[in-house]
């Protein structure tokens, strides 16, 4: 039951709030922006080697993935993927994925070359025959992995963190629709933002988000996997303008519920359509500040009224129709709504408050909006 208490408390507060340590008395450090935590060796590495500026916020739990044919424990961040290699001595027991090289290999090759050799000091990287200059080179030299325990950053430490350049400086149109001077390195993309004051005039690209990693639930038993083909895949509620993808989610490595950024989450320990019990879905009502153009899936859920119809489509395309019977404002500790009910119903969990946003800050998301729908007759 404590899992659901934590779900109802945290899921509404991860879009626009400032970072804060919500587990100050434990080895975890959790971030309201994404709802994920870092701990142990990865937290130590993150904090010692640049933190938010270099890596960004965590966007997945610690999870097992196959990287270059090997099963590794990894955690994704906005700008990087950190990999645990426990057989290696420190500091090489944590390594960064080569996201710059990987994304370039995927086809991120468009750009207009720009000669920056006159913009300041330059360094030729013999490994690739490519030169980095000026503000980009200064940003490359400003951070690095702590290898020798000495103050300052050596070029060997910068090389260990970012790798070598893979492209010449060039103009590229990025995800926000604007064109920037960028240069790709093995493990990062440096972007020149002249509208910002130094040192924020050169930023690292959000390569972790662009790579599109999936937050994975802990491995399910074979019996649970056997019924996964009937799990919800799409929800349509035309009365509230909802037509959203549904993804199966569980708990992360810290036992916290996974709430998708832009999709609706189906809790994979709740019922499937037609199983005769409570089907639990949850989603955000606020857009994320890093992606303001992507609407939150449940932004208009509060517009539903009794009698409105919802349709769930499962992974095989089979439709199940439900009719809204009521909406309830619940306190975070009123968890009975998301527990098994003994009869089929669809429970949608979102957030609500009297005053939602003022000056891009969440003012009041004090309650959970529980929308109940029952099978259409």
Residue 205 pLDDT exceeds 60: yes
Contact indicator for 47, 39 with CB cutoff of 8 Å:
no
Can you give the pLDDT at residue 256?
61
CATH for the stretch 222-375: 2.40.260.10
Confidence at residue 26, expressed as pLDDT on a 0 to 100 scale? 41
DSSP H helices, the chain, are: 2-10, 40-48, 51-55, 99-106, 134-141, 155-162, 207-211, 222-226
Q: Which of 279, 252, 246 is nearest to 264 (CA)?
A: 246
pLDDT digits (tens, 9 = 90+) for 344-354: 999 999 887 54
CA dihedral 261, 267, 273, 275 (to 10 degrees): 180
| pLDDT more than 90, % of the chain | 41
Q: Write out the residue limits of the CATH 2.40.260.10 domain(s) in the chain.
A: 222-375
Phi, psi dihedral angles at 362 (to 5 degrees): -75, 120
* Spatial contact of 184 and 100, defined as CB atoms under 8 Å apart: yes
3-class secondary-structure state, position 337: helix
Dump the DSSP string for 59-100: -S-SEEEEETTEEEEEEEBSS-EEEE-TTSPTTTTEEE--HH
Lowest mean pLDDT: which of 111-115, 140-144, 214-218, 260-264?
A: 214-218
pLDDT confidence tier of residue 355, bands split at 50, 70 and 90:
very low
Segment 225-229 mean pLDDT: 45
With beta carbons less than 8 A apart as the criterion, state whether 268 and 247 touch: no
Decide which of 174 and 343 is more confident.
Answer: 343
Once rounded to an integer, what is the mean pLDDT over residues 22-44?
A: 75
Q: Which of 325, 337, 333 is nearest to 372 (CA)?
A: 325
What is the C-alpha separation between 78 and 76, in angstroms, rounded?
7
Tokens of 311: 């349709």
Q: What one-character-per-residue DSSP string does 317-333 give? A: --EEEEEEEEEEEE-TT
Q: pTM of the full predicted structure?
A: 0.55
**C-alpha to C-alpha distances, 337 to 170, 209, 330, nearest whole angstrom:** 54, 33, 9
Judged by average pLDDT, the poorest of 19-23, 55-59, 115-119, 366-370 is 19-23
pLDDT the model gives residue 365? 57
pLDDT in tens, 179-193: 999 999 999 999 999
């Amino acid at each position: 039951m404590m899992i659901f208490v934590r779900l109802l408390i945290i899921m509404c507060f991860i879009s626009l709030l400032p970072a804060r340590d919500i587990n100050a008395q434990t080895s975890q450090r959790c971030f309201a922006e994404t709802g994920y935590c870092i701990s142990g060796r990865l937290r130590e590495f993150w904090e010692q080697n640049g933190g938010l500026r270099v890596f960004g916020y965590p966007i997945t739990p610690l999870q097992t993935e196959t990287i270059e044919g090997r099963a590794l424990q990894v955690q994704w961040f906005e700008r990087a993927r950190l990999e645990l290699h426990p057989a290696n001595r420190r500091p090489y027991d944590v390594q960064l994925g080569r996201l710059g090289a990987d994304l370039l290999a995927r086809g991120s090759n468009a750009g207009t070359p720009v000669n920056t050799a006159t913009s300041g000091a330059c360094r030729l990287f013999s490994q690739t025959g490519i030169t980095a200059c000026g503000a980009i080179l200064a940003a490359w030299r400003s951070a690095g992995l702590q290898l020798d325990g000495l103050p300052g950053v050596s070029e060997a430490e910068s090389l260990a963190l970012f790798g070598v350049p893979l492209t010449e400086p060039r103009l590229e149109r990025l995800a926000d629709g604007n064109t920037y001077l960028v240069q790709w390195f093995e493990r990062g993309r440096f972007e020149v933002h002249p509208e910002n004051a130094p040192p924020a005039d050169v930023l690292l690209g959000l390569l972790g988000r662009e790579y599109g990693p999936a937050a994975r639930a802990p491995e399910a038993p074979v019996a649970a996997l056997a019924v996964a083909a009937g799990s919800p895949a799409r929800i349509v509620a035309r009365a509230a303008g909802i037509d959203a993808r549904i993804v199966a989610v569980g708990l992360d490595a810290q036992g916290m519920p996974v709430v998708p950024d832009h999709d609706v989450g189906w809790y994979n320990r709740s019922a499937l359509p037609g199983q005769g019990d409570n089907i639990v879905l949850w989603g955000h009502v606020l857009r994320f500040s890093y992606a303001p153009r992507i609407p939150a899936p449940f932004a208009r859920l509060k517009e539903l009224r009794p009698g409105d119809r919802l349709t769930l489509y499962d992974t095989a395309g089979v439709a199940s129709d439900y009719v809204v019977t009521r909406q309830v404002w619940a306190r975070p500790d009123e968890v009975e709504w998301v527990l098994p009910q003994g009869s089929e119903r669809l429970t949608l969990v979102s957030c609500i408050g009297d005053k939602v946003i003022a000056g891009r800050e969440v003012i009041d998301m004090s309650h959970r909006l529980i929308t109940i729908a029952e099978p259409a007759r």
